[in-house]
Structure 1
Amino acid sequence: MDTLIGRQTEVLGDVRFSGGLHVDGKIKGKVLTSSEKSSSLSVSESGAIEGDVRVPHIVLNGTVIGDVHASEKITLAAKARVIGNVYYKIIEMEGGAQVNGQLVHEANPSLAQPLDLASGGSEFDELSEARRVKGFTNG
């Protein structure tokens, strides 16, 4: 790890880093990294983050209050607590880990976009037509 935030340290504001970051203390702000696919974040059992997290590789055994975006892999250890959604490409979750939000798989995060069925737009029409052609109709 390149950077350590110790148990007695509280950071107020966003943290932007490259390489590796280990958190034993508290961060109140976003945790972001450059677009390096090798950057990693580890949060120990005593570590806590209040804000969104965007890091390719994450090992979490502490608490995150906010959405977590792991563009490569996230490991949720037994003491991990997430209050927010977890967006991931690969996930590993130990027994005891808790997520109070949604788990959202993103095979290619830059291309993933939610389907807006409420707008009645062309996405809905194309999906309905594809299902009809393939025989997937509801009556």
Structure 2
Amino acid sequence: MFSRKKQPPIKSLIAQGTRIEGDVHFAEGMRIDGEVVGDIRAGSEQPSILVISETARVEGAVHADHVIVNGQVVGPVHAAELLELQPKAKITGNVHYKALEMHQGAVIAGQMCPVAVLVEEKPPLKLASNGQ
């Protein structure tokens, strides 16, 4: 779904020194450098990316297609496509992901739950016979 070239644009920023108390809903892309106490959820109409920077702290559930963490999250993280944990990431809570990229130094204190990928059941193969 995501290539390095076609990520959604980051249109929203919660700057360092800013604290938001309450749930946050966003579309396409968001970067957090400050603090959020509440759930963060991307809209489902289009692909989404959420960047939680080294200076950021989130207390609440996180939901987006592509989640990049280099700060602190206290709560569950749900990445519908890709979860990237950079070296200073610290997550206290369960993580749910389709694909995971974890750098040395990142910490998860919780369960790692890969999202089940539905695989189409294929019909059994029939061996070719020699006609006997």
Normalized against structure 1, the TM-score is what?
0.76
Provide, for residues 50-101 of structure 1, a one-character-per-residue CA deviation record: whole Å limited to 9, x for no partner.
0001111011000100000000001000000000000000000000000000
Aligned-residue Cα RMSD (Å) equals 1.1
Query: Which ranges of 4 or more aligned residues in structure 1 deviate by more than 4 Å?
Result: none
Matches within 5 A, 1:21-32: 21-32=30-41
Equivalence for 1:48: 57
TM-score normalised by length of structure 2: 0.80
Alpha-carbon distance between aligned partners in 1 of 2:113 and 2:100, rounded to the nearest angstrom = 10
Q: Secondary structure at the match of 1:8?
A: coil
* Amino acid across the alignment from 1:3: S
Aligned residues: 109
CA deviation map 1:7-55 (0-9, x unaligned): 0100000000001100000000000011145111001100010000111
Q: Which amino acid aligns with 1:25?
A: G
- Please list every run of 5 or more consecutive structure 1 residues that lacks an aligned counterpart in the other structure: 112-139
Q: Decide which of 84, 89, 94 is 2:98's aligned counterpart.
A: 89
CA–CA separation in structure 2 for the residues paired with 1:4 and 1:54: 16
1:16 and 2:25 equivalent? Answer: yes
5+ long unaligned stretches in structure 2: 1-9, 119-132
After TM superposition, the structure 1 = structure 2 runs for residues 111-122 of structure 1, keeping only pairs within 5 Å, are none
Q: Matches of 2:116 and 2:69 in 1, distance apart? A: 21
Alignment match of 2:44 (pick from 35, 45, 50): 35
Indicate the structure with greater helix content. 1
Match of 1:103 among 112, 119, 122: 112
